[in-house]
């Protein structure tokens, strides 16, 4: 998985550069830390100008100053934390913690939640193959049911890809570097998302929209891209580790 991390970092840098070129994103801080979320890692702070990407009903009542989002990210792989805030809306924030684990998504409480956090959580399983995207969000070249890797020959994934992997690995220990006899490996990205929009009359509508539509759709597409961009990752890794 070290190769995955190297490739992932290069791909993130590449996509960030593209956003900078478009003028929709600026990097304010990019520095390492020794004691912080996840232990040691890399901290970045970025500013996004998101007005053109907002849902029509949301952008209609937000002034231009409120259509700028600040992102803070702590990357201590296999743990990451991202915080989104809007300088104009002081009582608004989105916080996403992620843990990447060498398993099939069967851990019940990977973040060690307790009390009201554990009681009030809602579990939503995202399946990059079975869960569909539509309209402009769907790209044929990013569809796991169609994509075949040119460098690894992996794919396409079947509707029952998770169940097939569980059958192949039944009774075996789960190691990040292990694969099945067919050369398949799997890991799960666990995320906990906290959304706050503490404005009377709008709180429930906005928070539900962010949870149920904005975040879920974004995560589904992003993880489909992780699979569909693997040829680009392999080129990067091969270039750095001949």
Question: For 95-114, how does the pLDDT look when each residue is reduced to its tens digit (9 = 90+)?
Answer: 999 999 888 788 889 999 99
Evaluate whether residue 17 is within a structural domain. Answer: no
Token pair in block for residue 11: 């791909």
Whether 225 maps to a domain, the answer reads yes
Does any domain span residue 189? yes
Whether 95 maps to a domain, the answer reads yes
Helices 216-228, 230-240: crossing angle, 10 deg rounding: 50
In a domain? residue 14: no
CATH number at residue 71: 3.30.530.20
pLDDT at position 172: 63
pTM of the model: 0.74
**What is the predicted pLDDT for the residue at 19?**
45
Per DSSP, the three-state class of 15 is helix
Specify the range with the lowest mean pLDDT, choosing from 15-19, 25-29, 167-171: 15-19
User: Is the per-residue pLDDT at 121 higher than 50?
Assistant: yes
> Domain count of the chain?
1
126 falls within a domain: yes
Tens of pLDDT, residues 18-41: 544 444 778 999 999 999 999 999
Whether the Cβ atoms of residue 233 and residue 8 lie closer than 8 Å to each other: yes
Range of the structural domain that residue 101 is part of: 22-230
Q: Which residues are within 8 A (CB) of 154 and not within 5 positions of it... i.e. 6 or more apart?
A: 148, 183, 184, 230
Q: Which pLDDT score, from 0 to 100, does residue 241 have?
A: 44
């Amino acid at each position: 998985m070290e190769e995955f991390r190297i490739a992932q970092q290069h791909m993130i840098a590449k996509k960030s550069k593209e956003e900078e070129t478009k003028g929709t994103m600026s990097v304010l801080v990019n520095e390492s830390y020794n004691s912080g979320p996840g232990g040691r890692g890399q901290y970045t702070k970025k500013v996004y100008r998101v007005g053109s990407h907002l849902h029509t009903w949301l952008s209609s009542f937000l002034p231009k100053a409120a259509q700028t989002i600040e992102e803070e990210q702590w990357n201590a792989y296999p743990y990451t934390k991202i915080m989104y805030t809007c300088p104009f809306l002081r009582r608004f924030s989105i916080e996403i913690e992620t843990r990447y684990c060498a398993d099939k998504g069967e851990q019940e409480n990977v973040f060690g939640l307790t009390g009201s956090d554990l009681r009030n959580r809602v579990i939503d399983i995202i399946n990059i193959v079975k869960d569909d995207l539509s309209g402009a969000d769907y790209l044929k070249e990013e569809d796991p049911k169609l994509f075949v890797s040119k460098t690894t020959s992996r794919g396409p994934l079947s509707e029952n890809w998770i169940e097939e992997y569980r059958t192949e690995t039944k009774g075996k220990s789960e190691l990040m570097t292990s694969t099945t006899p067919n050369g398949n490996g799997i890991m799960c990205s666990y995320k906990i998302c906290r959304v706050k929009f503490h404005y009377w009359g709008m709180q429930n509508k906005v928070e539900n929209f962010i949870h149920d539509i904005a975040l879920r759709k974004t995560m589904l597409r992003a993880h489909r891209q992780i699979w569909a961009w693997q040829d680009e990752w392999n080129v990067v890794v091969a270039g750095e580790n001949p």
